[in-house]
């Protein structure tokens, strides 16, 4: 890893995206249709892909500002307080009095494998208010991180604003849905996992060769860098200049819920610091690996010393 681009402030990341409360239940196995099983554990953890990636980036040394919407309800203040505890600027978060805060219902089996049902609520009301707030301060950003838990047309407009100012734009296409061909060129990096790659490219990703085919499709659509996350199979990345594969890190898996969020937040930090794509992807993979070793959503995001130790610095 390189040194911070500015030792006084660190990299500057903006995140526009989902802010949700995670309701997490764990049992030895998940119920079949119509069946009730006795659970083993339950807890709540502030989450949302956008907010969790913001926490990941902040814990890794970035100066982070979050944009999005929460509800005027029980969860809203808790979601904002969680971000403040991680020193994230929440001035870009609006309170929606007509819609509930986003909620993610997460079930885990004994191997830590997850299933998630998200009810996005106020997140889906993101609109020109968030875009104007972003526009007013975009000059302060090195990287803009986006996902797909808010209306995608808002994310596309945000990407256009950022690109116009020379800001690097990262898209985590989750939860995956259709992306128009003309939108791809607005994203410097698109990083699907296996499921999302299948939805976007119709390629079943199960090894490096199939990941390379999916990545090429994304590159042909105008993305500058395509990254395909394959969980325990590693990470493949490609651009017009280079391709690479990062083998998986050996860790004990507890909860895979937010591995992708740790990856994306870390990737943004590394790229903002000026790292090469290969080093940035490896750093991001180490962050994702650390995240699966503990339970929770934002709770599981690692600090920099942990990631660097696994990365091998």
Q: How confident is the model over 252-261, as pLDDT tens digits?
A: 988 887 899 9
Confidence bin at 313 (pLDDT 50/70/90): low
Label residues 178-209 b or e (16+ Cβ within 10 Å = b).
ebeeebbebbbbbbbbbebbbebbebebeeee
Q: How confident is the model over 24-49, as pLDDT tens digits?
A: 899 998 888 899 999 999 988 899 99
Give the pair of three-digit tokens for residue 251: 């860790």
How much is the mean pLDDT over the chain? 93
Q: Which of 8-12, 24-28, 164-168, 230-234 has the lowest mean pLDDT?
A: 8-12
Q: How confident is the model over 79-96, as pLDDT tens digits?
A: 999 999 999 999 999 999
Distance CA 147, CA 276 (A): 23
Identify the CA nearest to 12 among candidates 268, 282, 190, 287: 268
Q: How far apart are the first and last CA of the chain?
A: 8
> What residues does each domain of the chain span?
12-29+40-311
Question: Which spans in the chain are helix H?
Answer: 49-59, 75-85, 128-137, 152-164, 194-201, 208-220, 259-272, 277-291, 304-311
SS3 content of the chain, % helix, strand, coil (to 5): 40, 25, 35
Q: How confident is the model over 242-277, as pLDDT tens digits?
A: 999 999 999 998 888 789 999 999 999 999 999 999
Is residue 306's pLDDT more than 60? yes
Q: pTM for this one?
A: 0.91
Averaged pLDDT, 153-181: 96
Q: How confident is the model over 182-225, as pLDDT tens digits?
A: 999 999 999 999 999 999 999 999 999 999 999 999 999 999 99
Give CA 287 to chain center in angstroms.
12
96 vs 104, which has greater pLDDT?
96
Q: Which fold has domain 12-29+40-311?
A: 3.40.1190
Distance CA 60, CA 50 (A): 16
Confidence bin at 9 (pLDDT 50/70/90): low
The answer to whether the CB of 258 falls within 8 A of the CB of 52 is yes
Residue 214 class from Cβ within 10 Å (0-12 exposed, 13-18 middle, 19+ buried)?
A: buried
Tell me which residues are annotated as active site. 261
Is residue 131's pLDDT more than 90? yes
Identify the CA nearest to 266 among candidates 145, 139, 92, 113: 145
């Amino acid at each position: 890893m390189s040194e911070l681009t500015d030792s006084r402030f660190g990299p500057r990341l903006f995140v526009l995206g989902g802010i949700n409360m995670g309701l997490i239940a764990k049992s030895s196995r998940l119920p079949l249709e119509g069946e009730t099983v006795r659970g083993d554990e339950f807890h709540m953890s502030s989450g949302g892909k956008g907010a969790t990636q913001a926490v990941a980036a902040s814990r890794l040394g970035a100066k982070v500002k979050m944009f999005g919407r929460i509800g005027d309800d029980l969860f809203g203040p808790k979601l904002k307080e969680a971000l403040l505890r991680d020193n994230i600027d929440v001035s870009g978060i609006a309170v929606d009095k007509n819609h509930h805060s986003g909620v993610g219902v997460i079930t885990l089996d004994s191997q830590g494998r997850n299933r998630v049902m998200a009810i996005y609520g106020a997140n889906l009301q993101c609109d020109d208010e968030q875009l104007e707030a972003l526009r007013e301060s975009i000059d302060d950003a090195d990287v803009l991180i986006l996902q797909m838990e808010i209306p995608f047309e808002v994310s596309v407009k945000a990407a256009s604003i950022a690109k116009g100012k020379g800001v690097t734009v990262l898209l985590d296409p989750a939860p995956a849905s259709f992306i128009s061909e003309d939108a791809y060129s607005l994203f410097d990096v698109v990083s699907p996992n296996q499921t999302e790659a299948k939805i976007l490219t119709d390629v079943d990703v199960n090894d490096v060769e199939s990941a390379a085919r999916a990545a090429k499709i994304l590159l042909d659509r105008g993305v500058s860098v395509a990254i395909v996350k394959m969980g325990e199979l590693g990470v493949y990345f490609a651009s017009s200049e280079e391709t690479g594969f990062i083998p998986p890190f050996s860790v004990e898996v507890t909860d895979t819920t937010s591995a992708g969020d740790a990856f994306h937040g870390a990737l943004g930090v590394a790229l903002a610091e000026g790292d090469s794509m290969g080093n940035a992807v490896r750093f991001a993979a180490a962050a994702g690996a650390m995240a699966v070793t503990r339970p929770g959503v934002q709770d599981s995001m690692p600090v920099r010393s942990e990631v660097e130790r696994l990365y091998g610095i």
